[in-house]
Amino acid sequence: MLKKRDLTDCLALYPLLIHPDVFPYVRYKPGSYEEFLFMTKQGIEAEERGEMISRTISDEWEQPIGTINLYDIDNGAGFLGTWLGKPYHGMGYNILAKEMFFDEVFFHHHIETIFLRIRKENLRSQKATEKIPYVTFANYTKSSVYESINNNPKGYQYNLYEITKDAYTLYSKKNASQLTEHAHQMKA
């Protein structure tokens, strides 16, 4: 479901990216397919330098359907950016991709905190984020980060959310133990 980004996925991803329900909410907005290729190449190079982690999200048939990225990595923290093509909204891919990605970045990289900045008018993403049990609303607890993301040249206003490695690990262990208990009950 997740794989390292490569240029061969761009042809399938670009039409999904430019859909009017997706494009306004992506971090980088390419003006053309060629610009999308160039931006993807830059992202691959940034990952090689340790500045970001970027993965392509695929469906069950390994067709690219979106991306998930950790940007601006600094001191064990970074900002999450995820988008899925419109035909894949509401099908469960988002949470599956996030949990696979969180497993990778928390347990195979030196990441301790993932921040999510979501535009205040993007109610769909806010509601989806607030359903995740290990996410914390952080406008007040991380006020310096909150102020910095809202001091931007385009004037966008964001809400800030935080996922810590500890909160995610606790959730993962609790969930795994509940699944194990359920499996034992089914055998009895």
Cα angle for residues 51, 53, 59 (degrees, 5° grid): 160
Lowest mean pLDDT, pick from 21-25, 93-97, 174-178: 174-178
Q: Which of the four pLDDT bands, split at 50, 70 and 90, describes residue 185?
A: low
Right CATH number for 2-183 from 3.40.50.10440, 3.40.630.30, 3.30.420.40, 3.10.20.30? 3.40.630.30
Contact 167, 134 (CB under 8 A): yes
User: What pLDDT shows up at residue 181?
Assistant: 54
The C-alpha atoms of residue 103 and residue 171 are separated, in whole angstroms, by: 12
User: What pLDDT shows up at residue 183?
Assistant: 47
Q: What is the pLDDT of residues 47-88, one digit of tens each?
A: 999 999 999 999 999 999 999 999 999 999 999 999 999 999
Domain extents for the chain?
2-183
User: What pLDDT shows up at residue 184?
Assistant: 47
Q: What is the pLDDT of residues 150-161, one digit of tens each?
A: 998 888 899 999
